[in-house]
Amino acid sequence: MTEEIMACYGGGCYGNDPLYFDSQEEERLARMRNKQLTKALKEYRHQELKKLKLLERQGKILDIRRNIKQSIVVILGALEQLAISLEHESNVKRMHNILQEASSQGDAALTDELLADIEVLWRDAGVQECYSRSYEYQLIDSAKYFLDKVEEIRRPDYLPSDQDILRCRVLTTGIHHIEFDVHDAGHPVSFSVFDVGGQRGERRKWIQVFDSVVAILFLADVSSYEQTLREDQTKNRFMEALEIFEQVWKNRFLKNVSILLFMNKMDVLAEKIQRGRSISALTDKYPEVFPNYEKFIPSSSEKIEFLDSYYKPEGDGRKRRNSRGSKSADVNPDLIKTAVYVKHIFMKIVKGEVVLNPTVQKISKDWHQNHSCEYFYTCAVDTNNIQRVLDGCRTLIIRKHLERFGII
N-terminal to C-terminal alpha carbon distance within the chain: 48
Q: How far, in Å, CA of 403 to CA of 398, rounded?
A: 9
> CB 140 → ligand GTP: shortest distance, Å?
6
Instruction: Select the binding partner of residue 166 from Mg ion, ligand GTP, none (C-beta < 5 to 8 A, by kind).
Output: ligand GTP
- Residues 30-89 interacting with Mg ion (rule: CB under 5 A): none
Nearer to ligand GTP, 120 or 380 (CB): 380
Nearer to ligand GTP, 172 or 370 (CB): 172
CB neighbours of 104 closer than 8 A, spacing ≥ 6?
Answer: none
Nearer to ligand GTP, 142 or 283 (CB): 142
132 binds Mg ion (CB under 5 A): no
> CB 10 → ligand GTP: shortest distance, Å?
41
Q: How far, in Å, CA of 9 to CA of 393, rounded?
A: 38
Instruction: Select the binding partner of residue 349 from ligand GTP, Mg ion, none (C-beta < 5 to 8 A, by kind).
Output: none
Q: Residue 36, exposed/middle/buried by CB under 10 A (0-12, 13-18, 19+)?
A: exposed
Nearer to ligand GTP, 118 or 354 (CB): 118
> What ranges in 215-332 are assigned the alpha helix state H?
237-249, 266-274, 280-285, 300-311, 317-330
- Residues 171-200 interacting with Mg ion (rule: CB under 5 A): 172
> CB 271 → ligand GTP: shortest distance, Å?
8
> What CA–CA distances, in Å, run from 10 to 15, 32, 63, 403?
10, 18, 42, 39
Instruction: Select the binding partner of residue 141 from Mg ion, ligand GTP, none (C-beta < 5 to 8 A, by kind).
Output: ligand GTP
Nearer to ligand GTP, 73 or 166 (CB): 166
Q: Residue 215, exposed/middle/buried by CB under 10 A (0-12, 13-18, 19+)?
A: buried
C-beta contacts of 310-318 below 8 A and 24+ residues apart: 310/266, 310/339, 310/377, 310/378, 310/379, 310/385, 312/388, 314/384
Q: Please report, as a single letter, which amino acid is at residue 196.
A: V
What binding mask, one character per residue, do residues 137-176 give for Mg ion by CB under 5 A, x or -? -----------------------------------x----
What binding mask, one character per residue, do residues 251-280 give for Mg ion by CB under 5 A, x or -? ------------------------------
Nearer to ligand GTP, 116 or 165 (CB): 165
Instruction: Select the binding partner of residue 379 from ligand GTP, Mg ion, none (C-beta < 5 to 8 A, by kind).
Output: ligand GTP
> CB 165 → ligand GTP: shortest distance, Å?
9
* Total residue count of the chain as it appears in this document: 408
Instruction: Select the binding partner of residue 345 from Mg ion, ligand GTP, none (C-beta < 5 to 8 A, by kind).
Output: none
Residues that bind ligand GTP (CB under 6 A): 141-142, 166-167, 169, 171-172, 197-199, 219, 264-265, 267-268, 379-381
Nearer to Mg ion, 26 or 195 (CB): 195
Q: How far, in Å, CA of 159 to CA of 167, rounded?
A: 14
**CA-wise closest residue to 309 among 298, 324, 297, 322:** 324
Burial 149-171 (b: 16+ CB within 10 A, else e): bbeebbeeeeebeeebeebbbee
Kindly list the residues in this chain that would bind Mg ion in the complex (CB under 5 A).
Answer: 172
